């Protein structure tokens, strides 16, 4: 799936749309609450996720290379196999072991 705006993401999330494998390259979804969203295998290269709440999200095998996650809340997030190369993780909240 291809999304162009944060509004489209929020609508899909609220409608329980399957977002696995979505192309979200460069999207700005800063300061949004996306609890337990499943974005596994998605492309979020260069995306802006500043201060986004992703508690309990499934971000396994996701491409976050070059993404901006400053201040994001990643508690309980599954990042297994995620590509975080060049991602800005300044001030992110993340519990060790999750």
Provide the percentage of residues in the chain whose pLDDT is more than 70: 96
Q: Which residue segment(s) compose the domain that 88 sits in? A: 1-98
Q: Is 95 helix (H, G, I), strand (E, B) or coil?
A: coil
Overall pTM > 0.85: yes
- How far is residue 83 from each of residues 6, 63, 66, 87, measured CA to CA in Å? 22, 5, 9, 9
DSSP H or E run through 58? none
Instruction: Tell me the percentage of the chain whose pLDDT exceeds 90.
Output: 77
Q: In this predicted structure, what is the pLDDT of residue 16? A: 83
Identify any residues that bridge with 78 across adjacent strands, giving them in sequence order: 58
Contact 32, 13 (CB under 8 A): no
* Mean pLDDT score across all residues of the chain: 92
* Cβ 31 vs Cβ 11: under 8 Å: no
Measure the CA–CA gap between 41 and 58, rounded to whole angstroms: 9
Q: Work out how many domains the chain is built from and give that number.
A: 1
Domain of 67, CATH number, reads: 2.160.20.80
């Amino acid at each position: 799936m291809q999304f162009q705006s944060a509004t489209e993401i929020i609508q899909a999330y609220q409608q329980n749309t399957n977002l696995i494998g979505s192309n979200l390259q460069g999207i700005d979804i800063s300061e949004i609450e996306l609890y337990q969203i499943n974005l596994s295998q998605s492309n979020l290269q260069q995306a802006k996720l500043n201060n986004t709440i992703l508690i309990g999200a499934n971000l396994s095998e996701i491409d976050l290379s070059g993404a901006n996650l400053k201040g994001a809340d990643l508690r309980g997030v599954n990042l297994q196999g995620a590509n975080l190369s060049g991602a800005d993780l300044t001030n992110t909240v993340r519990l060790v072991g999750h």
